[in-house]
Amino acid sequence: MKLTLSNLALLSLLLLNGCNKGDPLPGGYAIFFGDSEDVGLVLPPKGEILVGPKLAKIGSAGTLIFGEVQPPKKPNPSLAGSRTPGFFILDSSTGTIEKGLSREDWLKKLQKAGLQGEPELVYPERKGPRKGDQYDVKTYQGDGRMVDHGRSAASERFSLHLGEVDFAKEQTLRYKIGKLPPVELVAGFDIRDLPPGPAGGNNVHNDFNRASIHILLKTAEGETVFEETSPLSAWTWGYGMPGTERRAWMRERSGCRFTPQPEQQYVLTLKITPLAGSKAVKPAALRISGGGWKVE
């Protein structure tokens, strides 16, 4: 078996060194996620795609890694392995790979290697232990409503909905929050009923809901976790929300982001001061979110 490697420009890399039941993949192998179609098996630190895309399912036993590759919806000949769909077997102790196997041949080879019965395969994004897996939303204590969107969520797995915010009037709001999921969280606003925007691009609606925002998070003991004062127009208005809804958040790593401590109670204070120049004031809600297989 001859192993051929092709170079791939990695737009984004998530290394999930995990396999069935949270056990690490043998030999230091990991899973690369570029997007939902661009998923492959890699050996860090080189990051070259050895199997896939699209790596559809994967499993392991001993030194063997095995699974199924499906052709991407839009095949790209420049991507390594994009023309070899089928089942594969990789021996992590030697680096040898058999690809493009039929299911029948694949099962026979696995049986010959000592695996009996149907091998367990899982979706790549469900591999490996994640920080949020042990968190139960029922343990949340505080204002609002905590939602877990599940392990398949790429981002914003956890959402703490803290309610509506009226940008038309000056006000100060306080929230008690505690026993949060152990993942990085970011506070932001979901702004609704905006006119349809152009495809792509941030900040196309930041002339709505003009206001100065002061947001402060402290522990229950009074220690400052983060503090931010800036106009809402300076926040990033994301374009990933459906329809006419936009998510406004601080892109900077220091702005409105934190990783909660276990059992810790917090107090979040939000002050809204309307500013002149708004096209209109649209309904908005405060939400804290984080987690997901792309970021955990």
Q: pLDDT tens-digit profile of 88-104?
A: 999 999 999 999 999 99
pTM for this predicted structure: 0.63
Residues in CB range of 166: below 8 A, 6 or more apart: 272, 281
On the 0-12 / 13-18 / 19+ scale of CB atoms within 10 A, 77 is exposed
**Does residue 143 sit in the same domain as residue 180?**
yes
**Does residue 30 sit in the same domain as residue 116?**
yes
Full domain range(s) for residue 219: 131-290
pLDDT of 36 over the 70 cut:
no
CA separation for the pair 257, 225 (Å, rounded): 9
Kindly state whether residue 229 falls inside one of the protein's structural domains: yes
Kindly state whether residue 14 falls inside one of the protein's structural domains: no
Closest CA to 142 of 288, 290, 249: 288
pLDDT band at 30 (very low <50, low <70, confident <90, very high): confident
Choice among 141-150, 163-172, 217-226, 248-257 with the minimum mean pLDDT = 248-257
Residues in CB range of 224: below 8 A, 6 or more apart: 216, 217, 218
pLDDT band at 17 (very low <50, low <70, confident <90, very high): very low
CA separation for the pair 296, 284 (Å, rounded): 27
**Does residue 36 sit in the same domain as residue 181?**
no
pLDDT of 78 over the 80 cut:
no
pLDDT band at 213 (very low <50, low <70, confident <90, very high): very high
CA separation for the pair 28, 92 (Å, rounded): 8
**Does residue 112 sit in the same domain as residue 135?**
no
Q: Which of these three, 126, 155, 178, is where a domain ends? A: 126
247 φ, ψ (degrees, to nearest 5): -105, 125
| Tally of structural domains, the chain | 2
Closest CA to 85 of 49, 48, 55: 55
What percent of the chain clears pLDDT 70, i.e. is strictly above it?
77
Provide the pLDDT for residue 283: 95
Most confident of 126-140, 156-170, 200-214: 156-170
Kindly state whether residue 12 falls inside one of the protein's structural domains: no
The mean pLDDT value for 132-137 works out to 86
Q: What's the chain's average pLDDT?
A: 81
**Does residue 155 sit in the same domain as residue 122?**
no
**Does residue 241 sit in the same domain as residue 137?**
yes
